[in-house]
Structures are given as C-alpha cells and as structure tokens.
Structure 1
Amino acid sequence: MSEAQALFQRAIALREVQDLGGALDAILLAAKAVPNDPNVALGLAQISFEAGLNAADLYADAARLQPQRIDLQRSRAAALAAEGRLTEAEALLETVLAANPGWIEGHRCLCGMRATAGDPDFARSFSAAIERDPANFGLRMAWFHVLATARQWESARAVITDAEAALGERQASLLGKLFLASESGKAAENAALFDGVEHVQDVGLDLARVRHFLRGGQIERAHDVCLRHAGTPPMRAFWSYLSLAWRLLGDARVDWLDGGMRDVRSFDLGFSAEELAELARTLRQLHTMNEPWHEQSVRGGTQTERPLLLRIDPVIAAARSKIEAAVARYIDELSPPDATHPLFAAPRGRFLFAGSWSVKLRPGGYHATHTHPMGWISSALYVTAPEASQRGPAPAGYLQFGNPPPELGLGLEPYGSVEPKPGRLVLFPSTMWHGTVPFTDGERMTIAFDVVPAQSIPNSPDKA
C-alpha cells in the first residue's frame, strides 16, 4: 500500500469514528500526494463538507474526475447552497436536470432548496420534466410524494389523476390514493379503506395502515400490523405506534416500553452565560434558510443543514464535549439490559451521532409531535429560550412527551413535560413521541441530535 493510500484509509477510518479534524489532516496529505485520484478528491470534498468547511469547489473537482457520477452534482449543489450560493446551486441542478429529466434525486434536492427558500412553486421542476418524459411513471410518483410530504393534498391528488389518465392505474398510484384519502381526512372514517390491498406487504404501507386504523378506532388492527414487524429492523418505526395501541387497549406492556417519564432525563451542562451567548451567535450564523424542510417537524422556524456536532468550529467542539459527557452518563444510568427493549437492548459502549442540527423557532413556532425511528437516544439542548413572561401561560414553549400526533385524534394526555432553560440538555428514547407547545414571543434555539451505539442495535422484541 502506498503512503497516499494509507493516508486515505486513515482519513476514512477517522471519519467513521467522527474525528473530522484528524480525518481532514489525513485526507489533505493524501490529496497533496495524489491530486488527481478520484476517490481521494471525493473524500476531501465529503470530509470538508461534513466538517463545516467550504466544499463546493472541491465537489466540482471530484465531479470532473468522475463525470459519469451524476450524484456528485447533487452534492456540489448542496455545498453551494450551504455556502450561501443558492442561485448557483439552483442553476447547476436545472442544467443537469435539463439533460437528465428523470433524475429523481436531483428533483428532490432542488425542491428542498426552493422550499426552504420560501418558494411557493418549489416543485415546478417536475412538471417541466414530465413534459419531456411523459411515460416516466416513477417520476410522476416522486412528484406526488414531494407534494404529499408538503401536505399539499389537492396538488398531489392532481398529479396522480394525471398519471393514471396518461398511463393507467398502477399499484403505486393506488397506494398513493389510499394514503391521500386517509391522511387528508377525506376517508378517515372508512374502516375498509385498506382492505383491498391486504395482500400487499410493504413497510410504508403498513405505517399508513397503522395510522388509519388508530385514527378510525380500529386499535386491535393497528396493534396487529405493528407486530408484523417484531424482530425486524423496521420495528424501530412501529414501536411508537405500538405504544399508542397499548395505551388505548390498557395493556400493561406500555409501562415496560415507555414507563411514562422514566427515561426522560435533564442535565445542566454547566455553560457560563458568556459561553451560551457565544454558542448562540455561532448557531445564528448557520440559520440561513427562510423555512424548514417539509419532511421535518419544525413549524415556524428553521433548521440547519450539515451534521452540526461534527463541525471543527471550536465553539461547537466545546459544546460537543459537554454533550458527550452527559450522554455517557445517561447511558450508564439506564435500566439493566433487556434484549427485547428498543432502548435497553443496545450495547452500552461507545456511541456515535446519527445526526445533529440546530433549530431556531420564531414566536408562535413549535415542533409537531414526532419520533426519531433511526435513532437510539434523542435530545434537545436549549441554547436560548424565551423568558417565562414571553412564553405565555404554561406549558407554552415546553417540551412534551407521550402526546400522540393530534391528527390521529386519540385523546391521550402527555406523560409529562420539561421547561426550556438555557444550558439544559434533555435526553430521551428516540422511539418516544415528543413535540413542543407554541410560545408567544422570544427566541427558542436548540441543538438536537440522535445517538446510536457504535455497534448495531439488536431488534428482537420477543416481549411484543
């Protein structure tokens, strides 16, 4: 193995353990030794981007060395947007899409950029592409999913109607119509809505079934669909719904699973007022978007991009150090291991960040109720929070746990809530429902992240 190859392998290994500073040092030396190596060039772009550095021109270099990889243009566009060069990012994607109208990931990236910029016609690239490739049913369904995620029900319905008029009904469009009928509320009371596709086995469809059954009072059916996935990786997405079913059925196993506020812990991280002020200034500079992504829980605020806690900024690094100590303590103090439990089954050793970001809410903003099925432990670190006099009557601005999505109409009360306080870190199971209550005035800015074990998480919920 050459020295350059060894440096490249070292950079990859350090990136995998989230030592971005060490990874950057190694990949820079490798790039100096072999400036035209396509893998090294891509590694330099990726590591630089994740470390919070400018990477758009580096992705351009990587794309030049691998012109057949259209995905590198998407990464380059994302880097351009992150550097505040949104006009260039949109122009790049428009150019690539003009030559590749069926490139779905490119459309999704462009739609996300336009949506977070506040563009009401964020999905217009799809209509232009369909004009050029009208027989592309997958492209039409991708357009549908983008609109449905934005909860633009009528526009999404029109896309399916046009697709079927041009190409006939297919399973994907049928399932899309069922999803629309349920989630838009037009057929929420139709108990038999999904009966005609009972033979179709699909994780996404099962999630739609569970939500429909819960909404319509068919609790046993929702419960049974959840248990189809017991012992499989997709069960991570169903634990939260199984919790709701167990609560509605009066099943004592919900105490084993959730235990109310048992696994919700708050930690004072010991920030000084000066440290919090500097951290807040740093985070505000990263909030460059006008609106949140449609697929996120943020309402009335913005969310940063790139993995926040991997940035090599010293202010972020200092916060990360405090966070890691608190997470380690939380893990050490968990209940004894239980191979059937989504929180207690995981290895208690080294952990990694599966994602990290900041959210800044404006007056009236809140987080819709949600979970983090790809995580193990989730969080909220309050950097700024409205004064009690600004929030409004309690629980305005509080973080609530166990409250089901209101659109399901289940009438279950939250398990409890936590008051926002600058410097307070709240840790909780990723499978637990949580959301925040709107507040009247002030700024609420947090750092949030998901943690996963460095080893894989077992999925053998025999108790279910």
Structure 2
Amino acid sequence: MSEAEALFRRAVALREVQDLGGALDAILLAAKAAPGDPNAALGLAQISFEAGLNAADLYAEAARLQPQRIDLQRSRATALAAEGRQLEGEDLLEGVLAANPGWIEGHRCLCGMRATVGDPDFARSFPAAIERDPANFGLRMAWFHVLATARQWDDARAVIADAEAALGERQPSLLGKLFIASESGEAADNAALFDGVEHVQDVGLDLARVRHFLRGGQIERGRDVCLRHAGTAAMRAFWPYLSLAWRLLGDARVDWLDGGMRDVRAFDLGFSAEELAELARTLRRLHTMNEPWHEQSVRGGTQTERPLLLRIDPVIAAARSRIEVAVARYIADLSSPDPAHPLLAAPRGRSLFAGSWSVKLRPGGYHAMHTHPMGWISSALYVTVPEEPRRGAAPAGYLQFGKPPPELALALEPYGLIEPKPGRLVLFPSTMWHGTVPFTDGERMTIAFDVVPAPAIPNPPAKA
C-alpha cells in the first residue's frame, strides 16, 4: 500500500468516527502525496466542507478530475452558497441542467437554494427542463414533490394535470392526487379516499394513509397500517403515529412506548454568560439564509447547513465536548434494554451525531410539531432566549412534547413542556412529537442534533 493510500484510508477512518480535525490532517497529506488523485481530491473537498472550511474550489478540482460525476457539481454549488456565493452556485447548476435537463437532484438542489433566499419562483428550473424532455414523467413528478413539500397545492395540482394530459395517468400521479386531496384538506373527510390503492405497498403511501385515517377518525385503520411495519427499519417513521393511535384508543401500550415525559431530560451544561455570548456570535455568522428549507420544521426563522458539531471551530468544539458528556449521562440513565422499543433497544456504547444544526427564530417564530425518524436521541440546546416580558407570557417559546401536528386535528394535549433557558440542553427520544410555542419578541437561538449508536469498529484509529 502506498503512503498516499494509507493516508487516505486513515482520513476516511477518522471521518467515520467524527474526528474531523484528524481526518483533515490526514487527507491534506494524502492529497499532497498524490496530486491529481481523484479520490484524494474529493476526500479533501468533503472533509473540508464538513469541517466548516471553504470547499467550493476544492469541489471544482474534484469535478475536473471526474467530469462524468455531475453530482460533484451539486456539492460544489452547495459549497458556493455556504460561502456567500449563492448566485455563482445557481449559475453553475443552471449550466449543468441545461446540458442535463433530467437531472432531478440538480433541480432539487437549485430549488432549495432559491427557496432559502426567499425566491418565490424557486421551482422555475423545471418548466424549461420539461419543455426539452416532455416525456420524462419522473421529472414531472419531481416538480410536483417540490411544490407539494412547499404546500403549494394549486401549483402541484396543475403539474399533475399537465403530466396526465400529456402522458396519461400513472400510479405516481394517482398517488400524488390522493396525497394532495388528503393533506390540503380537500377530501380530508373522505373515509374511502385510499381504498382504491389498497394493493399498492409503499412506505410513503402508508404514511399518507396513516395521517388520513387519523385525521378522519379511522383510528384502528391507522394503527393497523403502522403495525404492519413492525420489525422493519421503516417502523421508526411510524412509531410517532402509533403513539397517537394508542393514545386515542386508550391502549396501555402507549405508556410502554412514551411514558409521558419519562425519557425527556434537561441538563445545565454550565456555560458562563461570556461563553454563551461567544457561542451566540459564532452561530449568528453561520445563519446566512433568509428562509428555511421547505421540508424543515422551522417557521419564522433560519436553520444552518453543514454538520454544525463537526466544525473545527474551537468555540463549536468546546460546546460539543459538553454536549457529549450530557449525552453519555442520558444514555447511561436509560431504562433497562428492551429489544422491541425504539429508544431502549439500541446498544449503549459509543454514539455519533447523525446531524447537527443551529436554528435562529425571529419574533413570532416556532417549530412545527415533528419527529426525527432518522435519529435515536434528539435535542435542543438553548443559546439565546428572550426574557419573559419580551417572549410573552408562559408558555410562549416553550418546548412541548407529545402534542399531535395541528393539521391532524386530534384532541390530545401535550405530555408536558420545558421552559427554555440559556445553557440548558434537553434530550429526548427522536420518535417523540415535539415542537415549540410561538413567542412575541426577541431572538431564540438553539443548537440541535440527532444522536445514533456508533457502529462497531474493530480497530478505531488513534487521534492524530
């Protein structure tokens, strides 16, 4: 094995255990030892980006070495936007899409970039592409999904109507129409809405079914759809809805699953006022967007991109160290292992961050009720919180648990609420419904993350 290959493997191993500082040192040496190597060039770009460094030009070099990989242009565009070069990123994607109109991931990336700067015509790349490739049904449905995620129901309906007029009804467009009818409220009270597609087995469709059944009072049907995913990886998306069904049915198993606030814990991380002020200044510099991505829970605020807690910034690293101590305490204090439980079944060893970000809410802002099906343990670390006179009377700005999403119109109250305080970290199961109460005035800024159990590594790399 060459020196460059050994360094590259070391960089990959350190990245996998989220030691980005060590990974960066190793990949820099690998790229120096093997200039022009496409793997080293791409590794340097990826690790630099995740570590919070400028990476757009590094992605450009990686793309030059692998011109057949247009996905690298998407990464380069994302890096350009992160560096404040949004228009360059948009121009780059527009150029690639002109040559590859059917590149769906490129369209999605461009739509997201435009949405986060508040562009009302964020999906305008799709019509031109479809004009060039009118028989591409998947491209038309991708356009529909982008609009539906933004809850632009009329535009989404029009896209499906045009697709079917040009190419005929197909299963994806049929399911899309059912989704709109249910989620927009147009046919929310139609108990038989999904009966014609009982033969279609699809996780996304089942989620739509469950939401429709719960919304329409068909609680047993919703419960049964959830339970048919028991024992599968997809079940993590259905546990929150099964919780609602069990509560509505008075099923005692909901205490086994949620236990009210049993697994919600708050920790004081011991930050001084000066440390919190420095952390707030650091985070504010990272909030460069005007609006959140449409698929995020943020309402009236912004969410940072890139994995926040992997940045090599010393202020972020200091916060991460305190967070890791609290996470370890939370895991150590969990109830006895239970192989059937979404929280208690996981191994209790090392953990990794599956995602991490900061949210800054403006006056009137809040988090919609949601869950994190890709996580195991989720969180909120409060960095800045307006004082109560500005925030509004309690529970303004509080974090609430167990309340259903309002669009389901279910008569269930929250399990409980936690008051936000600077330096307070709240940890809870990722499958639990959570959101925040709007507040009146001031700034409410948090660090949030998901934790997952770390996979077993036979010989973990030593830190450099």
Using structure 2 for the length normalisation, give the TM-score: 0.98
Per-residue deviation, 1:422: 0.3
Corresponding residue number in structure 1 for 2:200: 200
Q: Write out per-residue CA displacement over residues 296-331 of structure 1, whole angstroms, 9 at most, x where no aligned residue.
A: 000000000000000000000000000000000000
Task: Give the drift of 1:415.
Answer: 0.2
Q: Are 2:70 and 1:79 equivalent residues in the alignment?
A: no
1:28 aligned partner: 28
Q: Which residue of 2 aligns with 1:69?
A: 69
Instruction: Give the whole-Å Cα distance in 1 for the aligned partners of 2:35 and 2:247.
Output: 59
Distance 2:253 2:148 in 1: 34
> Is the Cα–Cα contact under 8 Å of residues 376 and 451 in structure 1 kept in the other structure?
yes
Please name the residue that 1:271 is paired with: 271
Q: Give the Cα separation in 2 of the matches to 1:450 and 1:434.
A: 14
Task: Tell me the equivalent position of 2:318.
Answer: 318
The amino acid that maps onto 2:45 is A
What displacement does 1:413 show? 0.1
| 8 A Cα contact 1:267 1:425, kept in partner | yes
Query: 2:257 aligns to what?
Result: 257
* Runs of at least 4 residues off by over 2 Å: none
d(CA) in 2 for partners of 1:448 and 1:103?
Answer: 32
Match of 1:380, SS state, is: strand
Structure 2 CA distance, aligned partners of 1:394 and 1:414? Answer: 15
The AA in structure 2 aligned to 1:326 is A
CA distance in 1, matches of 2:211, 2:50: 35
User: Does the alignment pair 1:191 with 2:191?
Assistant: yes
Indicate whether 1:359 and 2:359 are aligned.
yes
* Runs of 5+ consecutive residues of structure 2 not aligned to the other structure: 457-464
Q: Which moved more, 1:387-396 or 1:209-218?
A: 387-396
CA deviation map 1:203-227 (0-9, x unaligned):
0000000000000000000000000
Matching residue of 1:243: 243
What CA distance in whole angstroms lies between the structure 2 residues aligned with 1:426 and 1:309? 16
CA positional deviation for 1:47: 0.2
Task: Provide the residue aligned with 2:461 in structure 1.
Answer: none
How far is the alpha carbon of 1:354 from its aligned partner? Answer: 0.1
Per-residue deviation at 1:411?
Answer: 1.2
1:233 maps to: 233
Matched AA of 2:436? T
Whole-angstrom CA distance in 2 between matches of 1:237 and 1:66: 37
Q: What's 2:210 paired with?
A: 210
What is the rounded CA distance, in whole Å, between the counterparts of 1:228 and 1:455 in structure 2? Answer: 27
Deviation at 1:455, TM superposition (A): 2.9
Instruction: Give the Cα–Cα distance (whole angstroms) in 2 for the partners of residues 291 and 235 of structure 1.
Output: 31
Aligned-partner residue type, residue 202 of structure 2: D
Name the CA distance, whole Å, in 2 between partners of 1:320 and 1:216. 44
8 A contact 1:347–1:455 mirrored in 2: no
Query: Aligned to 2:356, what secondary structure does the other structure show?
Result: strand
Taking every aligned residue pair, what percent have the same amino acid on both sides? 89
- TM-superposed CA distance for 1:394, in Å, is 1.1
Show the counterpart of 1:462: none
Give distance in 1, aligned partners of 2:252 and 2:42: 52
Give distance in 1, aligned partners of 2:293 and 2:75: 17
In the aligned structure 2, how far is the partner of 1:24 from the partner of 1:51? 8
Secondary structure of 2:234 counterpart: helix
Count residues in correspondence.
456
Alignment correspondent of 1:461: none
| 1:275-312 Cα distance to aligned partner (Å, 9 max, x none) | 00000000000000000000000000000000000000
- Residue 391 of structure 1 deviates from its aligned partner by 1.2
1:392 deviates by 1.0
Superposition pairs of residues 57-456 of structure 1, within 5 angstroms: 57-455=57-455
TM-score using structure 1 length: 0.98
Q: 1:238 aligns to what SS in structure 2?
A: helix
For 2:71 and 2:135, how far apart are their aligned partners in 1?
23
Structure 1, unpaired ranges of 5+: 457-464
